[in-house]
Homo-oligomer: A and B are copies of this chain.
Amino acid sequence: MSSIEPSAAGQGRLMASGQRRLRLYVTMGQRLLRDSLLFQILLHDEVELVGESETGVATLNRLKTATPSVLLIEENLQDNDGLTIAEHALAMNPSLSVLLISDTPVSSGRMAIYLEAGIKAVVSKDQPVQELIKTLFYIRNGQVYVGNWQQEPAPAAMLAYQALSGREREVAQLMASRLPVRDIAGRLGVSCKTVHSYKDRIFVKLGFERLPELILFMQRHQHGAAE
């Protein structure tokens, strides 16, 4: 069927950064969180979901056939605690990277216990999603992530705004209010392409990938970190 080159193994472009596909298994009790997290995570095309379950035992069963490279698991499961499950999983496959999701911020004491058990990172439910995603990608090659569980009071994000130049701020503003690119271009008296350029720069500077992130950012920025 045609002589079309199958677009060279993998996605090329973005593939350069890390290793291969991140094979993910997710264990999380509540569907709402699991779903919305998954939608978020699956936006990244190097992630392959190899399985999911709601309970610890189900996870241990499936883990034999699914062969994830990363296990994202909640600390508190209905039938067990994530730590125990993770330990079993690690016993079966020591090269698995486990990211634990805890309900509350972790103390350094607990952190030590987790690391001891071979868990690669812990993210609490009080942290931003991006934090979780960043961590996920960070640990995927086996690295341990002992990042800012120290819970900085929302600094980086707001400081980032300072990094935007005047024109960039204007555009960020208008884009966050959902004004279509064409209108923004019209209002600023420049070409659409220029607006796109600003958009690109803004997204790079702030580390965003999609409009909702910017909207949320601007919203939070305006109504102060008062939040």
Contact = CB atoms under 8 A, between A and B. Distances in A.
A49 B125 contact: no
Contacts of A42: 211-212, 215-216
A112 interface: no
A38 B42 CA distance: 16
A131 to B, nearest CB: 8
A159 interface: no
A129 B123 CA distance: 21
A208 to B, nearest CB: 11
A6 interface: yes
Contacts of A227: 52-54
A132 B33 CA distance: 11
A51 interface: yes
A18 interface: no
A33 B31 contact: no
B2 A189 contact: yes
Interface stretch (A79-87, A137-145, A178-186): A178-186
B7 A39 contact: no
B212 A32 contact: no
B2 A186 contact: yes
A213 interface: yes
A1 B187 CA distance: 6
B186 A49 contact: no
Contacts of A101: 32
Contacts of A43: 210-212
Given A31-B127, A36-B40, 16 more contacts: A1-B186, A1-B188, A4-B182, A7-B182, A30-B126, A31-B126, A31-B128, A32-B37, A33-B36, A35-B130, A35-B216, A36-B39, A39-B40, A39-B129, A42-B212, A52-B219
Instruction: Report, nearest first, the 5 A-B pairs whose CB atoms are least far apart.
Output: A1-B189, A4-B186, A42-B212, A36-B36, A35-B129
